[in-house]
Amino acid sequence: MNKEQLRRQQALEYHAKGRPGKIEVIPTKEAKTQRDLSLAYSPGVAEPCMEIFRNPEDVYKYTAKGNLVAVISNGTAVLGLGDIGPEAGKPVMEGKGVLFKIFADIDVFDIEINEKDPEKFVEIVKALEPTFGGINLEDIKAPECFYIEKRLKEEMKIPLMHDDQHGTAIISAAALINALELQDKKIDKVQIVVNGAGAAAISCIKLYVALGAKKENIKVFDSKGLIHDERTDLDEQKKEFVVKSKPMTLDEGMKNADVFIGLSKGNTVSKEMVKSMAKKPIVFAMANPDPEITYEDALEARKDVIMGTGRSDYPNQINNVLGFPYIFRGALDVRATKINEAMKLAAVKALAELTKTTVPDIVNMAYNEKNISFGPSYIIPKPLDPRLLSYVAPAVAKAAIESGVAQHTIADWDAYEEQLNKRLGIDNQLLRAIGSKARKDPRRVVFADAENVKVLKAAQLAYEEGVAYPILLGDVNNIKDMADVNGIDLDGIPVLDPKSKDKETEAMRQQFGELFFQKRQRKGLNRYEAVKAMKERTHFGCMMVETGEADALISGLSRKYADTIRPALQIIGKDEKAGKIAGMYIMLTKRGPLFLADATVNFNPKAEELADITQLVAKEVRAFGITPRVAMLSYSNFGSSDSPEAKMVAKAREIVKQREPNLVCEGDIQPLVAFNKEILKENYPFSELVNGEPNVLIFPNLASSNIAYNLLQEVGDADAIGPILLGLKKSVHILQLGSSVRSIFNMVLISVIDAQMKGKTDVDEAIIKSPWWKRFRKVSHDM
Ligand SMILES: NC(=O)C1=CN([C@@H]2O[C@H](COP(=O)(O)OP(=O)(O)OC[C@H]3O[C@@H](n4cnc5c(N)ncnc54)[C@H](OP(=O)(O)O)[C@@H]3O)[C@@H](O)[C@H]2O)C=CC1
Ligand SMILES: CC(=O)C(=O)O
Ligand SMILES: [Mg+2]
């Protein structure tokens, strides 16, 4: 089977497996009990019906309309496959529905209509207005699509857009602006050739002209050749772009052109045509699924080309997927009555600008690349960039408000942005808060496992983002080589090898070893062993933190948990005030962050110990600016079982409440009850959790906690940050085996905040004074 056959088979299997197709409808309300049914349907449902009857606006309050978009097609121009009919177009429409949902949390019904007559089509779509908050017209051929869209825009009061026209125009315009900048060309000077004069092409040309391109510099070709003044077969849209010329082939038209825009059919452009273009050409071959010319061929033809296609498997994917989810999100959120020019231009600007900002590592990881940055192979954001939603949707919403088509306004844009991020389920909210807290007072963080590419990348990111001053421990040459090979810039980041034979390091090992010996001399350690232990990076790193040469230690990526925690306990030790040491996880779930403990240290805590753990976690949660609401979990509810395990949890809760009466804390309680307001209200109205869900979950033992966090991570799709070690005198944190760059970076943020909580060292002062730091910097600069 060749590559093409394999791709075909995989695509068919993907669509056919399990429940056929790509979408299903999921209820948003409980519909399990007889009571639920009587509310969801008759008789209860009559109440919202009558409310909406009295006030039609309430349809947005009591139904899904406000977040529901129709993706509507008649299948007359499906991708570049042509008029394949409404049924054959359905996989594409379902696909658009999936993209609306995953990128912008917009629900979609795909509607394939068996109607080619524009007049009848308009009547059908118009009649759907009560159901939907917005209409995305899709894959309807030109010239009918122009009439259909115009009529519907005039006659409907919900946002409506023909995506092949405007979505494509917006994305390709953003890409064009950036490509022109890189090729050092001006939009009003460039010669543009457009192949295709259909829905997408006509709309793109109009937007480029609005952005400054000159009509007289644009040659447009359709299936019959150049659109010129001697042709008698042109519709109104095409007539707008006639040039005074004799008939001409595409080969002739492309000679010396600066820009080629392909919105026609696959494989219509040859390498020779690209070769004949002007210096530093721009080629956007956007036909789907096959572009006018392949990415490889264009690059083979010209080294100086900037090339984009509509496909996801090459750089520069110029595809309307970058627009429609976010444009509709912004439009729906302000209840815009239309999608107007101001909103489209705002989207263009936001997309063009986003491309120039630093690409987060999560995007590099998603595309398995090292350093995606603005340049010939990155002129437009990547579709998997999670920032698109919070960049483009607010820009569109703002433009809708300013241009007077919004029926709702947004007062707090920061809150709106947070709400957008929450929609994606990433819960950047907490991470952003942690990030800005760390950035306000960055600390020196030692990385014990620096001979690791992921650690190096996380350290570089931490340094660049100003959240920490990393110090790397390991073989200096090895680290330098790794950094070079992987394009990691370590300038400004000190590197030190605890095994080094140089005098200064040896003296330091002696000094650290002596201190270690004093701490452990009656605990089985002799002086020789103590000094030797300092060649070990975790021991050395712990000692740096203990002696104030650093503020925090990150370790454990390549060693067992116990091998990291032991030196931390022996060298740094427990904070006696904390009572206990415990391991907490932050789980970023769709319902918001949950703090879980103890999943790492105490196997079977007694009531007193569980109370200590609870208070430790509550204190840490407050440090993140969150008010803790604790559920002490069990298999029983408020004494429903008199087993020793259940009683232990109830007793622990009693101790917590005696010590901290104001801490919201419930137990013994099952998760099902703790998270279900209705059950609580009905059966346990006295509970402190009646007024809000818990965010801290304390488990009765290590096994249940560890299993729960693993399950949440694996089955519940929650991201985990941790384990966050609580109860040590100083900030030491241990990475999970195989942690990603993002999770290491998150642990750096946590360690900095922990260090902030634990000491008041003025970092700048300390850095300036520290002979170590000066030496590290020298080592690093010599690299
Ligand atoms: N990357 C992206 O985001 C998007 C890509 N597209 C792609 O653009 C293409 C066109 O889509 P759309 O505008 O919706 O479809 P339309 O049917 O409205 O337009 C197709 C146009 O292509 C022209 N055409 C067909 N064959 C040739 C040829 N051999 N040489 C020159 N022109 C030709 C047609 O000419 P005539 O008028 O003479 O029939 C027509 O003008 C498709 O491949 C589609 O997948 C579309 C939207 C978004
Ligand atoms: C991407 C798209 O909408 C198309 O090719 O038709
Ligand atoms: Mg389309």
CATH of the domain at 640: 3.40.50.10750
Residue 770 above 80 pLDDT?
no
Q: Tell me the ligand closest to 200's alpha carbon.
A: 1
Estimate to the nearest angstrom the gap between the alpha carbon of 684 and the chain centroid: 39
Give me the pLDDT at residue 623, please: 79
> Phi, psi at residue 588, to the nearest 5°?
-90, 95
Residue 773 above 90 pLDDT?
no
| 614-642 pLDDT, tens digit each | 999 999 888 776 789 999 999 999 999 99
Ligand 1 closest atom vs CA 171: 3
Domain limit, last residue, from 263, 294, 320: 320
* Residue 48 placed within a domain: no
* Residue 733 placed within a domain: no
DSSP secondary structure string, 17-49?
SSSSSS-----SS---SHHHHHHHSTTTTHHHH
3-state secondary structure of 665: strand
77 C-alpha to center of ligand 1: Å?
Answer: 8
Verify that 615 and 483 share a domain, yes or no: no
> Phi, psi at residue 241, to the nearest 5°?
-120, 25
Q: Provide mean pLDDT across the span 188-194.
A: 98
Cβ–ligand 2 distance for 165 under 6 Å, the answer no
Verify that 173 and 281 share a domain, yes or no: yes
Ligand 1 closest atom vs CA 202: 13
Rounded distance, CA 165 to CA 137, Å?
9
Verify that 658 and 519 share a domain, yes or no: no
* Residue 312 placed within a domain: yes
Give me the pLDDT at residue 774, please: 52
Give me the pLDDT at residue 602, please: 92
Rounded distance, CA 320 to CA 164, Å?
7
Q: Tell me the ligand closest to 73's alpha carbon.
A: 3
* Residue 715 placed within a domain: yes
Give me the pLDDT at residue 542, please: 95
Give me the pLDDT at residue 781, please: 35
Residue 157 half-sphere exposure, CB side, CA atoms within 13 Å? Answer: 4
The residue whose CA is least distant from atom 4 of ligand 2 is: 79
Verify that 152 and 24 share a domain, yes or no: yes
Would the CA dihedral through 518, 519, 524, 528 be positive or negative? negative
Verify that 246 and 313 share a domain, yes or no: yes
Asked whether residue 727 is marked as a ligand-binding residue, the answer is no
The residue whose CA is least distant from atom 6 of ligand 2 is: 79
SS3 assignment for 240-309 = CCCECCCCCCHHHHHCCCCEEEECCCCCCCCHHHHHCCCCCCEEEECCCCCCCCCHHHHHHHCCCCEEEE
Mutation test residue for ligand 2: of 94, 138, 145, 172, the one with most atoms within 8 Å of CB: 138
Asked whether residue 139 is marked as a ligand-binding residue, the answer is yes
Verify that 12 and 152 share a domain, yes or no: yes
Known catalytic residues? Answer: 96
Judge contact between 83 and 76, C-beta under 8 A: yes
Percentage of residues in the chain having pLDDT higher than 90: 74
Asked whether residue 80 is marked as a ligand-binding residue, the answer is yes
> Phi, psi at residue 189, to the nearest 5°?
-110, -25
Give me the pLDDT at residue 576, please: 85
Q: Provide mean pLDDT across the span 165-186.
A: 97
Q: Provide mean pLDDT across the span 761-781.
A: 47
| 542-585 pLDDT, tens digit each | 999 998 889 999 998 777 777 888 899 999 999 888 788 999 99
pTM of the predicted protein model: 0.64
Ligand 1 closest atom vs CA 82: 17
Cβ–ligand 2 distance for 79 under 6 Å, the answer yes
Residue 520 above 70 pLDDT?
yes
Q: At which residue do the structure tokens 């050092």 appear?
A: 184
Domain limit, last residue, from 320, 342, 363: 320
Give me the pLDDT at residue 558, please: 72
Q: Provide mean pLDDT across the span 360-388.
A: 79
Bridge partners of residue 662, in order along the sequence: none
Rounded distance, CA 652 to CA 630, Å?
12
Verify that 672 and 720 share a domain, yes or no: yes
| 659-694 pLDDT, tens digit each | 999 999 999 999 999 999 899 999 999 999 998 889
Overall domain count for the chain:
4
The CATH code of the domain that includes 265 is 3.40.50.720
CB within 8 Å of 219: residues ≥ 6 apart: 191, 192, 193, 194, 226, 227, 243, 245, 248, 253, 257
Rounded distance, CA 694 to CA 594, Å?
8
Cβ–ligand 2 distance for 136 under 6 Å, the answer no
* Residue 383 placed within a domain: no
Residue 603 binned pLDDT confidence (cut-offs 50, 70, 90): very high
519 C-alpha to center of ligand 3: Å?
Answer: 70
Bridge partners of residue 222, in order along the sequence: 225
Domain limit, last residue, from 158, 179, 199: 158
Q: At which residue do the structure tokens 């177009």 appear?
A: 89
Verify that 212 and 124 share a domain, yes or no: no
Pocket of ligand 1 (CB under 6 A): 77, 79-80, 141-142, 164, 168, 195-201, 221-224, 263-265, 268, 286-288, 310, 318-320
Verify that 567 and 595 share a domain, yes or no: no
Mean pLDDT of the chain: 91
| 445-481 pLDDT, tens digit each | 999 999 999 999 899 889 887 889 999 999 999 999 9
Residue 422 binned pLDDT confidence (cut-offs 50, 70, 90): confident
ipTM above 0.95, yes or no: yes
What does the block give as tokens for 731? 């900030």
497 C-alpha to center of ligand 1: Å?
Answer: 61
Q: Which residue has the higher pLDDT, 307 or 723?
A: 307
H or E segment and range at residue 724: strand 719-726
The residue whose CA is least distant from atom 27 of ligand 1 is: 223
* Residue 52 placed within a domain: no
Cβ–ligand 2 distance for 264 under 6 Å, the answer no
Residue 58 binned pLDDT confidence (cut-offs 50, 70, 90): very high
Give me the pLDDT at residue 364, please: 64
The CATH code of the domain that includes 96 is 3.40.50.10380
Asked whether residue 359 is marked as a ligand-binding residue, the answer is no
Residue 738 binned pLDDT confidence (cut-offs 50, 70, 90): confident
CB within 8 Å of 603: residues ≥ 6 apart: 701, 702, 703
Residue 205 above 70 pLDDT?
yes
Verify that 553 and 692 share a domain, yes or no: no
* Residue 637 placed within a domain: yes
Judge contact between 378 and 315, C-beta under 8 A: yes
Verify that 450 and 528 share a domain, yes or no: yes
What does the block give as tokens for 74? 């008649």
Verify that 141 and 182 share a domain, yes or no: no
The CATH code of the domain that includes 473 is 3.40.50.10950
The residue whose CA is least distant from atom 2 of ligand 2 is: 79
Q: Which residue has the higher pLDDT, 51 or 522?
A: 51
Cβ–ligand 2 distance for 564 under 6 Å, the answer no
* Residue 402 placed within a domain: no
Residue-range definition of the domain harbouring residue 771:
437-573+762-777
Give me the pLDDT at residue 624, please: 76
Q: Beta strand pairing status for 443-447 and 468-473?
A: parallel
| 66-100 pLDDT, tens digit each | 999 999 999 999 998 999 999 999 999 999 999 99
Residue 778 binned pLDDT confidence (cut-offs 50, 70, 90): very low
Q: Which residue has the higher pLDDT, 460 or 268?
A: 268
